[in-house]
Amino acid sequence: MYVFSVNATTPKDFDDYAAGDEVPFIVYINFSDLYGAEQLCKLYLNQQGFFDVAIDKRKLIEDKHLQNKKLINADPHMKDALESGYAIQVFSAH
C-alpha cells in the first residue's frame, strides 16, 4: 500500500474552498506497484472532479504494518483502503 500527499484544484466550491482553490489530500492506494498506485491516485481524484493533481510526497506502507491489527484499527482511512482499495481524505495541511 502507498500513501500520498497530494494537491488538486477544485472546480467548484467545496467545504471551506472556493472554485479554483488548491486542496490538499492524503490518499491511500492499496496497490503493490508505485507507478500504478500514482496513476490510480490521480484517476480517483479526477473522477471526483478535481484537476491539476500533483503528488507531493509518497510513502510505501510495508506489509508488516498492514498485518498489525492495532495499527489498522487506529487509522480508519488505512482500514478503508485495505477493504476497498483506496481512501481519500481532505487534509488541513501538509
Take residue 60 and report the three cell numbers written for it. Answer: 510505501
Cell triple for 29: 492506494
**What percentage of residues in the chain have a pLDDT greater than 90?**
90
Mean pLDDT of the region 48-64: 96
Which region among 6-10, 11-15, 79-83, 87-91 has the lowest average model confidence (pLDDT)? 11-15
What gap in Å lies between CA 8 and CA 4, rounded to an integer?
A: 12
pLDDT confidence of residue 94: 42
Mean per-residue pLDDT, 28-35:
96
Please, which pLDDT band fits residue 91 given cuts at 50, 70 and 90?
confident
Higher pLDDT, 16 or 58: 58
Q: Write down the pTM of the prediction.
A: 0.90
User: What's the number of CA atoms in the CB half-sphere (13 Å) around residue 51?
Assistant: 4
Q: How far is CA 63 from CA 12, 75, 85, in A?
A: 38, 15, 15
Q: Pick from 10, 4, 15: which is nearest to 87 by CA?
A: 4
Q: In the predicted model, what is the mean pLDDT of the chain?
A: 93
